[in-house]
Chains A and B, each alone.
Chain A
Amino acid sequence: MSNTLINVNDVTHRYDRHTVLENISFSVEEGAFVGLVGPNGSGKTTIIKLMLGLEKLQKGSIETFGKPIHKFTNKGHISFVSQKANSFNRGFPATAKEVVGMGLTSKLSLLRPTTKKLEHHIYEALDQVNMSEYANTNIGDLSGGQQQRIFIARSIVNKPRLLILDEPTVGVDTENVEQFYQLLSKLNDELGITLILVSHDIGSITTHVTDLLCLNKSIHYHGNPSDFENMTDEQRSKLYGHDMHTITHNH
């Protein structure tokens, strides 16, 4: 039985007088791999921030895990990989293992489990992203793609049900981007983690996602990525809004 994890209902959001989101409604079912695409300034990051509770809701409603967003407390259900993961302080004296361990924090309370048990979770997560051999390497010494894998490990170490990624391939070199998407598909298939992937690049994600959501202030398309691919360019630009530059997909 499918289970709705996120339900966004008629959300409108403004910064000062500038409307960034207008009457947005959509839902995310458990097990989906949703691609949320749109040009720069289309409100992608804003809707993510609203879903994560980082930004206050102005109009409309959002339900996460069946609860209104303001009543939802994240106890490890939702995790997040931000686009800023690439602009952290590279000189920060921490090993990959220590960075992954940060993801466990929300499970820790007064009675913290023993370190041995924690280590096991950390290595498991590192293994899932194929980074076990770098456990003791300083985070600043890894390449952009490897760092992003470590950040993925950090966000899955707590075994979340929903993982939201905001432009995670920024700073990852092109050869590694495809590998990165394969890793995400694996998390979705094998671990059953529901994914919301935000990107400005429709081209490369359509082959991996199960649902495509095109956003440009309002939602222009929501459905199957293959139907979207079969459309003509003209239909697409209509859906997308005329100010959108469509990236064609060559496969």
Chain B
Amino acid sequence: MLLDALLSFELLRNTFYTGLLVGFIAPLLGTFIVVRRLSLIADGLSHVTLAGIAFGLFMQKKYTLLFLTPFHTGIIFSIIGAIVIENLRSVYKAFQEIAIPITLSLGVGLSVVFIALADGINTDIFAYLFGSVAAVSRSDLYLILVTTGLVLLLIIFLYKELFALSFDEEFATVSGMRAKVIHYLFIIMTALVISASIRIVGVLLVSALMTLPVATAIRVAKSFKQTIIYSIIYGEVAVIVGLVSGYYLEIPPGGTIVITSAILLGLTLLVKKWYLAYIYKG
């Protein structure tokens, strides 16, 4: 039974706690990412994070670093990647989206190099790519808890600013908001949430956890606040269903979580269509 396993295996328990945390924080931040049309940034940053993880694995293997785990180097790379993206976006003002392929390909390139240097694909890398139900150590969990708390505080504190900047940057700037500082804080938060989510959903699917629940919520919500609340509900449902089914089916949870999200999206679209048809008819 899953419950027995949860009670007796700490790693599994940590994974579930982490799942609940990222199921909350990823769609929350994702709402801002989607309305700012930055959905692809999550992909760019996750691949930079992979480079960091590969670097960590390489260092661990060759130089037995004790205090820096691949998880830590992933976070560091992700934050550096975030700053690079934001800088590139201000350099290429006319085509800001070019910042994403630049960082994404650099991330993949570095990952390939470090993975090769660390003697190729092994189970560790596999867990980072697709997620794992038993990858979260107690110290990782603490770090993810701190990250979640930090991001949550920042969003509560900067809610109005983030909302206004997402809707109309010029108006927000004229009103005296410090757009640049807030952009940097926002993208660094994104980097932190991505690093935290990778343990559960993996590098390749982390952006899905930030965007699919939001894509679903946007179809049914009437206001911005509702969009956030529904996104979090859809995110949590996907994480719980995905982790439980992943455990039983012995499939990396990244796959099951994303498929659950996609099913929720499909169902929501269908129900909405039927509902609208019913309203127009009746």
Contact = CB atoms under 8 A, between A and B. Distances in A.
Contact of B164 (A52, A82, A102, A136): A102
A98 B223 contact: yes
A105 B218 contact: no
Contact of B168 (A76, A79, A102): A102
A85 interface: yes
A44 to B, nearest CB: 16
A74 B174 contact: yes
A88 B167 contact: yes
A248 interface: no
Given A74-B176, A75-B176, A93-B35, A154 B171 contact: yes
Nearest to A118: B160
Interface in B98-129: none
Interface in B202-240: 218, 221-227
Interface residues of B, number: 25
Interface of B is mostly: helix
B174 A79 contact: yes
A120 B173 CA distance: 24
A92 to B, nearest CB: 6
Contacts of A33: none
Interface in A93-127: 93-95, 97-99, 101-106, 108
Contacts of A180: none
Nearest to A74: B176
A107 B171 CA distance: 15
A123 B177 CA distance: 23
Contacts of B226: 93
B182 to A, nearest CB: 11
Contact of A80 (B166, B171, B224): B171
A94 B170 contact: no
B61 interface: no
Contacts of B138: none
A55 to B, nearest CB: 11
A176 interface: no
Contact of A102 (B37, B171, B173, B225): B171
Nearest to B174: A80
Interface string A55-76: 0000000000000000001111
Interface in B143-200: 160-161, 163-164, 166-168, 170-177
Contacts of B225: 98
B167 A93 contact: no
A6 to B, nearest CB: 14
Interface of B: 35, 37, 160-161, 163-164, 166-168, 170-177, 218, 221-227
Q: Which are the 7 A-B pairs with shortest beta-carbon distances?
A: A102-B164, A74-B176, A80-B174, A95-B223, A94-B224, A93-B227, A105-B160
Interface of A: 52-54, 73-76, 78-80, 82, 84-85, 88-89, 91-95, 97-99, 101-106, 108, 136, 138, 154-155, 158
28 contacts: A53-B174, A54-B170, A74-B174, A74-B175, A74-B176, A75-B176, A78-B174, A79-B174, A79-B175, A82-B168, A84-B170, A85-B171, A88-B167, A89-B37, A89-B167, A93-B227, A94-B223, A95-B222, A99-B167, A102-B160, A102-B163, A102-B164, A102-B168, A102-B171, A106-B176, A106-B177, A108-B160, A136-B222
